[in-house]
Structure 1
Amino acid sequence: MFNLKQLSPTITDMIRFDHSHVMVTFHQYSKDKSPRVKKALADTICDALEIHATLEEEIFYPVMRQRDAKEPFIHEAEPEHDEMRRIIAELRRTSGADPRHDDLVMELMRDVIHHVADEETKLLPDAEAILGKQRLSELGADMNVRRMQLLGPKAGKVAKEHVVGFSGSTAAMVVGAAGALLAAFALVPKKDTWKSKPASV
């Protein structure tokens, strides 16, 4: 029987897209921009990272733990997420006009770049070798549904941050179009709606 979930992007491709989205946003950030724009860009990064970390912890990491419990990164990833959340909490309390704001963004992105490098050179290729395209697409569909649930309550805020942060940038069109495409893939049958339970392998 045909499974609509198989039309979804794979979970590994979606994780790479999330990484790219954060990096594109970070590349718009510079010390000479207005405090309002810097705050909007930082908030966009923080929202994206918080949602991304939750998706990985709820859907991706449990599956990989079941399949490859000896992989060291699996045990390092969530503590790294916790450290990112600590910096994000401090960043959210800091005005865009505060010189510390720039330092916190740089500290956060140093951690993110290290985390992304480990994930994209080891964990994602391992997942693609172990799980296979069909399972990766099923997990991608689950991730899309859960993403929409997490994004829903803050959709207006995220859209406003995006407009302010990317104002006048061609990157805004790229990120906006890619985000719309990602949202379109979330249209899966209601019976597949994410429920908080460990993902099966």
Structure 2
Amino acid sequence: MMNPLMRKLAPTATHQIRTDHTHVLSIFHQYETDTAPQTKKALVNSACLSLEIHSQLEEEIFYPAMRQAMAEGGTVDKAVGEHQEMHRLIAQLRGMEPTDMDYDETFMTLMRDVLHHAAEEETILLPKAERLLGSSRLTELGGEMMKRRLELAKPHAGEIAMNGVRTMHTSTLLMTTGAVAAGAYLVKKVFDRGHHHV
């Protein structure tokens, strides 16, 4: 359970969505066709997991609130359709190895789709949410999203930590996946440091 103060201090729903977009794009920027296969896989796994958690938060919490606030749901329906295409590409990537011929191309296709989706949300849907819902409702939704984010990240804490060790800075890890996963990563880091200096 998230305590009321934490819920109040959680970033607003729209701020969390923008932060998620920034994080996933920062992973994409680290990916090069000549990157080592193990690092490629860690980057792809990290991006896919972040996108899965992000889209689930939007579909469970943010989009329903937007449907309620808008007279027409066309913009939200389009966003959900884009999520379905992202999930199709994620499933494809999960079934591939980084040494497969189409791996780079499949990840680049996912990247293009995410860029397009993020740009549309940030220019149309998020400003509309800020106008229609207002800061107090967005803070409330942000608290719900943060609580759910921690629940969704928890079973993947080990995987997130391992991907993080290979690909990311701790601050980015904390920003994206919440305290549970980052905590696991930090504990491991501190333990490893202590272990090596015994």
Length-normalised TM-score, structure 2:
0.84
Deviation at 1:148, TM superposition (A): 0.7
Distance across 2 between alignment mates of 1:28 and 1:65: 35
- The runs of at least 4 consecutive aligned structure 1 residues that moved more than 4 Å come to none
Kept in 2, the 8 Å contact 1:73–1:118? The answer is no
Corresponding residue of 1:162: 164
Following the alignment from structure 2 to structure 1, what is the Cα–Cα distance between the partners of residues 68 and 161?
37
- d(CA) in 1 for partners of 2:83, 2:173: 25
For residues 73 and 9 of structure 2, what CA distance do their matches in structure 1 show?
29
Q: Work out whether residues 9 and 141 of structure 1, in 8 Å CA contact, stay in contact via their aligned partners in 2.
A: yes
Give the deviation of 1:7 after TM superposition: 2.3
1:74 corresponding residue in structure 2: 76
Greater RCO, 1 or 2 (C-alpha within 8 Å, sep 6+): 1
Q: Which residue of 2 aligns with 1:198?
A: none
Partner of 1:40 in structure 2? 42
The one of 52, 55, 61 equivalent to 2:54 is 52
- The answer for the alignment partner of 2:179 in structure 1 is 183
Residues 1:179 and 1:51: Cα distance change in structure 2 (over 3 Å): closer
1:142-193 deviation digits (Å, cap 9, x = unpaired): 0000011111111110110121234xxxxx244135347x538xxxxxxxxx
Q: Deviations over 1:93-139 (max 9, x none)?
A: 11011121100110001110110011000110111111111111110
Shift of the alpha carbon at 1:72?
2.6
Contact in 1 for aligned 2:20/2:176 (Cα 8 Å): no
Determine if the alignment matches structure 1 residue 11 to structure 2 residue 16.
no
SS in 1 for 2:102: helix
Give the RMSD, CA atoms, in angstroms: 1.6
The residue identity in structure 2 corresponding to 1:48 is: S
Structure 1 gap ranges (5+): 167-171, 185-201
Structure number with the higher helix fraction is: 2
Secondary structure of 2:149's match?
helix
SS of equivalent to 1:9: coil
How many residue pairs get aligned? The number is 176
SS at match of 1:99: coil
- 2:110 corresponds to which of 104, 108, 111: 108
Moved more, 126-135 or 43-52: 126-135
Q: Deviations for 1:69-92, whole angstroms, at most 9, x for unmatched residues?
A: 425321111111011000000001
> Do 1:40 and 1:161's aligned partners in 2 also have CA atoms closer than 8 Å?
yes
Stretches of structure 2 lacking an aligned partner (at least 5 in a row): 181-198
Q: 1:147 to 1:177 in 2, by over 3 A?
A: closer
**Is contact 1:144-1:183 (8 Å) kept?**
no
Q: CA 1:61–1:179 in 2, change beyond 3 Å: closer, same or farther?
A: closer
Counterpart check, 1:125 vs 2:90: no
Instruction: Compute the displacement of 1:6 (Å).
Output: 3.0
* Aligned pair partner of 1:87 in 82, 86, 89: 89
TM-score of the two chains, using structure 1 as the length reference = 0.83
| Percent identity of equivalent pairs | 48
